[in-house]
Amino acid sequence: QVQLQESGPGLVKPSETLSLTCAVSGFSINTVYYWGWIRQPPGKGLEWIGSIYHSRSTYYNPSLESRVTISADTSKNQIYLKLTSVTATDTAIYYCVRGEVVTPDCWGQGTLVTVSS
Amino acid sequence: QRVLTQAPSASASLGASVNLTCTLNSGHSDYAVAWHQQHPEKGPRFLMKLNSDGSHRKGDGIPDRFSGSSSGAERYLTISSLQSDDEADYYCQTWHTGILWVFGGGTKLTVL
């Protein structure tokens, strides 16, 4: 059974870089699935950030593309998110997901990241 | 034009059935969608992928009370024999060139 566990700092200062790790267990990330990140600002809806496919090809939301990097380490079975130059609008719960082209089909429990000085 | 449109809220009585609707815009009217459920203070859970012909694939452990259907650009999630635990936010989602996954605004379901 696949499990996704997000981790990282819960507080990031404005203008700094948000860095998160997703540890995947029960399933290899080096398969024909998309692995990605989705976020949800408090009290608001869901926004796709980006995905990585077969540990190589990356796809980003155009609204965030200039600030986002998603990568993977197959030896550790982990996915990573970096978001640079954060502001208060980046405050959100960040979810790690696995999916196919049409949809994510497995979600992590999420981790809250607050951007504040 | 938004890709997906959902009503912000819906309500139905305990034990009854409810249909939640997701409408695709004209450029995506034949696309598959997925439905995700989110309880308060919890992460979302994948319910099903629903194709334009009404066929669907449910996630692991999703009860038979949850079903999906399609008509034109409309995608429906039907929940029968409503339980109090069905009270949640329901998001429809599809894929879009340039944006891999795009979500509707969500429907908050209240079980009366």
Task: Give the Cα separation of B105 and B90 in Å (integer).
Answer: 9
pLDDT above 90: residue A55: no
- The pLDDT confidence band at residue A75, using thresholds 50, 70 and 90, is very high
Average pLDDT along chain A: 95
Report the DSSP beta bridge partners of residue B67: B78
pLDDT value of residue A32: 84
What residues of chain B lie within 8 A of the CB of A62, using their CB?
98-99
- Chain A closest CA to B17's CA: distance in Å? 25
Residue ranges in chain B whose pLDDT is less than 70: 98-99
Residue A106 pLDDT: 96
Residue A5 CB burial class (10 angstroms; 0-12, 13-18, ≥19): middle
Task: Kindly state the average pLDDT of the residues A40-62.
Answer: 93
Q: Mind telling me how many Å the CA of A38 is from chain B's nearest CA?
A: 9
The pLDDT score that the predictor gives to residue B74 is 97
Residue A100 Cα, gap to closest chain B Cα (Å): 10
Residues 64..93 of B with a Cβ closer than 8 Å to A: which?
Answer: 91, 93
On the question of pLDDT at A41 being above 90, the answer is yes
Predicted pLDDT at A102: 85
Chains A, B: CB pairs < 8 Å: 68
Judge whether A98 and B88 are in contact, CB under 8 Å. Answer: no
User: Quick one: pLDDT at residue A101?
Assistant: 83
Give the count of beta carbons closer than 10 Å to the beta carbon of residue A24.
Answer: 21
pLDDT recorded at residue A15: 97
Share of residues in chain A with pLDDT > 70 (%)? 100
What residues 1-40 of chain B have any CB closer than 8 A to a CB of chain A?
32-34, 36
